[in-house]
Structures are given as structure tokens and as C-alpha cells.
Copies of this chain bind each other. A is one copy, B any other.
Amino acid sequence: MNNVDRLQRLEAVEDIKHLKARYFRWVDTQQWQELRTLFVDDAILLFPETDPEPMPIGQFMRAVEAAFTGGVSIHHGHMAEIEILSLNTAQAIWAMEDRIYFPPGVPGIRGASEIHGAGHYHETYIRRDGIWLFKSMKLTRLRLEVKLAPVTVI
């Protein structure tokens, strides 16, 4: 187990589940400052569905806030596959489902009134000063369904 004892491994697994739970909750309650604290400063995020290039954390924070403000998002995670690689490094795959609802007359991302999708997060983590944080995050999709907002012609 690479110098991680059995109890430390179980604690790390639970801590990372707790980290991911706060990630989802703070996205959906739009607590952007709290959300930012879950990432290391050099974290890298990749959402190929919207951008083929990895983003630094600052760009991600701006994109998330722009995408969700004014709408309602619901992100749920499921079924962690967490591997503790060493005392301070880990990786995981999570299943996910997301729904985003935009208000009538105010189409959101891609001109949508609703988005419904599912896929997997592939993530790495670092423990700094005893706290587990996101080091990288990549989202792959099984499905992404976009319901277009009606177009108004004046």
C-alpha cells in the first residue's frame, strides 16, 4: 500500500467522498468561493464536451459561474472507485448525472431550456496539510441531451 496503513487508507477514501460531496453541493447551491477552496491552485480540468483543451482552475470557476447563474443545476455523483496511491495522492472514477434548468425566455448553454446528461468523472487528488484537494478532473459522457428553448421571432 505504498506506506499508507490500512486505517489511513480507509480514512482517505472517506475524506475524498466528503470532498466530492461538497463539490456537488457547492456547485448546485452556487457557493463559488467555497467551491474554489476544494482545488489546488494548479488544478487542471477538462470538459471535452465544451472545450477540447484543459482549463486552469481560474478559467473553470469563471465558466461554471457563467453557465449556471440564473439557472438551477442538479449534479449527483454515484459509485466511487477510489484508489489511494500514496499517503498524499489518490485517483478515482465517479458515475454522475446532471440536470440544468434555465428560466423561461433566458436560454442557457447551447440555447438550452434544459440539459440532462450522464457520464463519469476521472479525477486525481493531492493531500496538502492533511486536507485532500482536487488536482485534476475530466468528464466523459455516456449521454448529453439538450432540450432547446423555443425561439421567439419578433
**Chain B contacts of A90 at CB under 8 A?**
none
CA distance A99 to B97 in the complex (A): 11
- Chain A interface mostly: strand
**Which among B11, B22, B74, B82 is the interface contact of A97 at CB below 8 angstroms?**
B74
Closest 3 CB pairs of A and B: A21-B79, A74-B118, A76-B78
Could you give, for residues 70-97 of chain A, a 1 whenever the CB lies within 8 Å of some chain B CB and a 0 otherwise? 0011101111111000000000010101
Could you give, for residues 100-121 of chain A, a 1 whenever the CB lies within 8 Å of some chain B CB and a 0 otherwise? 0100000000000000001010
CA distance A101 to B7 in the complex (A): 42
Whether a CB of chain B sits under 8 angstroms from the CB of A143 is yes
Contact B20 A79 (CB under 8 A): yes
**Chain B contacts of A147 at CB under 8 A?**
none
CA distance A7 to B25 in the complex (A): 27
